[in-house]
Structure 1
Amino acid sequence: MKAVLPVSSTAGSIGDGAPVVLGEVSEPEPHDGELVLAVEAYSVNRGETFQLDGQLDRRWPGWRPGKDVAGTVIRAAADGTGPGAGARVVAHPPAYGWAERVAVPTAHVAELPDSIDAVTAAALPLAGITALRLLRAAGPVAGRRVLLTGASGGVGHYVTELAASCGAAVTAVSATAERGARLLELGAVELVTSVDEAQGPFDVALESVGGSSLPAALSRLAPGALLVWFGQASRVPVTLDFFDFFKGPLQARIAHFDYTSSDTTYAEDLAALVRLVSAGRLHPEIGTVRDWSRTGDVIAELRDRQVRGNAILTVG
């Protein structure tokens, strides 16, 4: 079968200077508790582009990208768990999803209703699960002021809509007003293009940019408030002078967040995201939809921050 591979593999190029190629691989052989699905659409995440660049040490021998997929089950799990053959599903495999077929643990799968197509579903897993778990880490947000940096990406759109629907007053930070315009429609009360423009104090800061963004967000916290650090999209390390705590908010806290740390299964969160979309309470922001032969082009656009929201590739 065909699959998208890192450039170290020998196959045909996908896009000029792309870090991926299209080639032939063996059919997936499911382990216990795994089903096989025919992939109809997948999402490209910025973290996967960093992995392809070698900037994140998350690979293993034979690694291929692909964590967000939607499609149809063609081989049910042998142990009887999970959806049966013919079921339409959204899934979050650990890798290998940029392919015609992929094996996925049934604990990482949720069924789809007819009202949700594969393109919409493929935008849900990593960004949606991250948003759900990030808000749980932040605690109750009803009536609280929330500062969200890096808000124009897929996670930011979900966090904004989910937090606003819970009664939070979200100040969203986006590199440009154009990239962040949709956030106001999703419920943000304010959109700024720099943390320096944000008027605190904030009860919660959700920080994903790194560099100078984190200390700037920290300085705008209310006494006893919480900053949750969940990414470093700028790829610039944070330099933090802890003596600033003496000048800043009393009893402020910093917590590191990793969406994989709270649970190693994703079925329940995927099912929750599917219910919210089906009920019209969550609206995935899909910035571009392309044929999977354009994967390299999409990766380049994500690196240049030309895509607002999720980037989806369709297979076949």
Structure 2
Amino acid sequence: MRALLVDSTSPSGLRLGETADPEPAPHEALVRVTATSLNYGEVAHRDEAPDGTVLGWDAAGVIERAAADGSGPAAGTPVVTIGEAGGWAELRAVHTGLIGIPPAGADPAALSTLPVAGGSALRALRRIGDTLGRRILITGATGGVGRYAVQLARLGGAYVIATTGDPAAHGNGLRALGAHEVIAAPEEADAPVHGVLDLVGGPQLVAAYDTLGTHGTLVSVGHVTGQPETFPFGALYGNDGRHDRSIVTFYLLERPDIGPDLTWLAERLAAGDLDPQISWRGGWDRADEAIATLLDRRLHGKAVLEIT
């Protein structure tokens, strides 16, 4: 099969080439991939994988061969999938618990944006708890996860506060997605919040934690700054009257049970309740271009490669 392979001799670290077809385990289906979306984390760390590796977390396509153990969808079923690797290829073997089934006719390119970005946003918001009528702060809201988080929090009845480094440039777009307020930094929040979905890490996580009210929860999802989280002495005491506040770490693939969530997200997308916010779309022969745009922070939203 053809695939985007890690290649340390290539300027982009990747090349289109041939590799062996994957051999599915009994609980895995074989999927013929039609579209994959890029995520900053997998692209930024691609050079850490051995040459010849097929990366790729997100992929949409069609079941080529159903799982041998009888689980999962039948051959010919359109699907959206997630995994720790293998999405940047014509064929992908994937655990049937990591497969969602979209409505008929859904755009594979749009579906491919859902697994990591939409799945992370959905499950992180669940960790916060009830959002109906609650003030929810989302840091780094212009990225793929952030844009889905804004939409899902608004669908969940939250008062949504979004942060971005450039509110003048991105404020209108985030408000169109559902943000009630768009601010440059957590310190600008004018009242305590019930929950934080932090997609940045570093000093911004520390500042975001300081916005939490009593019983509030911060879910740490992103770590793009590469900086440590250093809390000033006394920050965790609650001497200001705000007690029982939590910081929760997050890992999307803790259990292979995200399939129903992907199905639900695909239904919301097909119904028009969610906007995939595709900012770049093209054939996988243009992967170098998409990767450069993503790494240079010139892409706000999702980049999708169509597998041809």
Question: TM over 0.5: same fold?
Answer: yes
Q: Which runs of 5+ in 2 are unaligned?
A: none
Report the more deviating stretch, 18-27 or 177-186: 177-186
Taking only the aligned residue pairs, the percentage that are identical comes to 39
Quote the residue 1:43 is aligned against. Answer: 37
Does the alignment pair 1:255 with 2:248?
A: yes
CA distance in 2, matches of 1:248, 1:226: 17
Aligned mate of 1:292, from 267, 284, 289: 284
- Cα offset for 1:279? 2.6
Does the alignment pair 1:202 with 2:193?
A: yes
Count of residues in Structure 1 that have an aligned counterpart in Structure 2: 305
Quote the residue 1:142 is aligned against. Answer: 132
1:263-288 deviation digits (Å, cap 9, x = unpaired): 32221111111121223222211111
Quote the residue 2:95 is aligned against. Answer: 105
**1:77, 1:106 within 8 Å by CA — same for their partners in 2?**
yes
1:117-161 deviation digits (Å, cap 9, x = unpaired): 111111111111111111110000111111110111111111111
Q: How large is the Cα RMSD of the aligned pairs?
A: 1.9
- Cα offset for 1:108? 1.3
Aligned mate of 1:175, from 160, 165, 176: 165
Does the alignment pair 1:19 with 2:13?
A: yes
- Cα offset for 1:63? 3.9
Quote the residue 1:158 is aligned against. Answer: 148
CA distance in 2, matches of 1:257, 1:74: 32
- SS of 2:236's partner is helix
- Cα offset for 1:7? 2.1
Distance 1:180 1:299, change over 3 A: farther
1:146-195 deviation digits (Å, cap 9, x = unpaired): 11101111111111111112211111011223245322112110111222
1:94-131 deviation digits (Å, cap 9, x = unpaired): 21110111111222112222331111111111111111
Distance 1:53 1:181, change over 3 A: farther
Quote the residue 1:311 is aligned against. Answer: 303
Distance 1:148 1:305, change over 3 A: same
- SS of 2:3's partner is strand
CA distance in 1, matches of 2:190, 2:72: 48
Q: Aligned partner of 2:64: which letter? A: I
Quote the residue 1:5 is aligned against. Answer: 5
CA distance in 2, matches of 1:108, 1:224: 32
Distance 1:76 1:164, change over 3 A: same
Q: Which runs of 5+ in 1 are unaligned?
A: none
Does the alignment pair 1:29 with 2:23?
A: yes
Report the more deviating stretch, 280-289 or 143-152: 280-289
Report the more deviating stretch, 177-186 or 148-157: 177-186
TM-score (structure 1 length as normaliser): 0.90
**1:152, 1:180 within 8 Å by CA — same for their partners in 2?**
no
1:52-82 deviation digits (Å, cap 9, x = unpaired): 143xxxx689642111001122222222222
CA distance in 1, matches of 2:100, 2:250: 24
Aligned mate of 1:226, from 201, 207, 217: 217
Quote the residue 1:238 is aligned against. Answer: 229
Aligned mate of 1:302, from 270, 294, 307: 294
